[in-house]
Amino acid sequence: MYKVAVTSRCRVAVAGATGYIGVQCVEILARHPNVELTRLLARSHAGRRFPEVVPGSTVDMPLEAGFEVDGVDAVLTALPHTVAAAHARQWIEGGAVVVDMSADFRLRDAAEYERWYGVPHPAPGLCGESVYALCELLDGELRGADLIAAPGCYPTATLLATVPALRAGLVEADLVVDAKSGVSGAGRSPSLGVHYAEVNESVRAYGVDGHRHKAEMIQELRRAAAAGGMARGVVDPPQTDLRLTFVPHLVPMTRGILATAYLRPLPGTGFAQLREVYAELCAAHPCLRYDETPPATKSVAGSNVAALNVGWQDGVAVVTCAVDNLLKGAGGQGIQALNLRFGFEETAGLPLYSRWP
């Protein structure tokens, strides 16, 4: 069995280690050149060893109950909503950086959290302290951060497809996004909605009246629209003018998200200008790739890379973004943020190539 090395400088615990996202984190961190993976927390499987719960894994570590993480430098949390929030302050005060992959700290407004998730926020005082870590759209905010919120999988693909054009002041703040996800986005716990017989050979839209990930998208899009207004010389543009129509779909595949954004260019903006914005962004970031044709989800499956393409149809920009929902859309992105926070190579430990076919 693979034994985790104990010579690395950053001691990391994973809470929620046996869910789909937690498993991605464990497998990457166990082989990360700058990390010592010290503790795996998984209440429902406490007392067992990781390979007993995750078939094929060679990470031979015990699974622990509880939420005590003394002696670690960072905690990566892949827990159900509200659970991480209930323990985050304790972890931070104990000296750990918290990288949360639930929705608990993505929204800066605790009232918005309650509106979309149906429960009061367990730690409303921390909401304004987190850094929303879509790494390619940040400007150094991760340095010194104690609380990092990894974006949701749909927001990752949607924001990468829309924010660059909006922030550059090239498109209207009236966005339409169609997104499709594999069933692993629903998590590892069984439910009727992702039962094989229910999803196989079928595609359906859901959340048409408002998917809860839309809240964090709107939050970040408003920031981008404000930056875009300033780029055009508009001082303090009204954020309430921004509108997003977002419709997710469930498709019969295991992993992957494809977001297609329809953007209306402002007068004077053409295809070449928009393409340049996205191509330059991809060239500047190792976990982005610009494709000359619309990407397929299989081309990024198993990698921490987001693939982007800009198309054009009858004066409308059609931007597509493909990500692996469990990696760039979740666990991989959390580790990418961890790398930046601790000054490691941004891609340290991360898979950057898909398995094809």
Q: Is the peptide bond before 62 cis (omega within 30 degrees of 0)?
A: no
The DSSP element (H or E) to which 260 belongs, if any, is strand 257-263
- Closest Cα to residue 22, out of 97, 80, 83? 80
Contact of 120 with 79, CB cutoff 8 Å:
no
Q: Which residues contact 16 (CB under 8 A, 6 or more apart)?
A: 22, 41, 42, 77, 78, 79, 80, 83
Joined together, the tokens standing for residue 131 give 């850094």
Rounded Cα distance between 200 and 256, Å, is: 16
Residue recorded with tokens 């439910």: 191
For the chain, the first-to-last Cα distance in angstroms comes to 29
Cα angle 165-272-246, degrees, rounded to a multiple of 5: 35
Residue 155 identity (one-letter amino acid): P
Rounded Cα distance between 107 and 212, Å, is: 11
Residue 25 is a catalytic residue: no
Q: What is the CA radius of gyration of the chain?
A: 20
| DSSP conformation class of 285 | -
Catalytic residue among 25, 153, 282, 287: 153
Residues marked as catalytic:
153
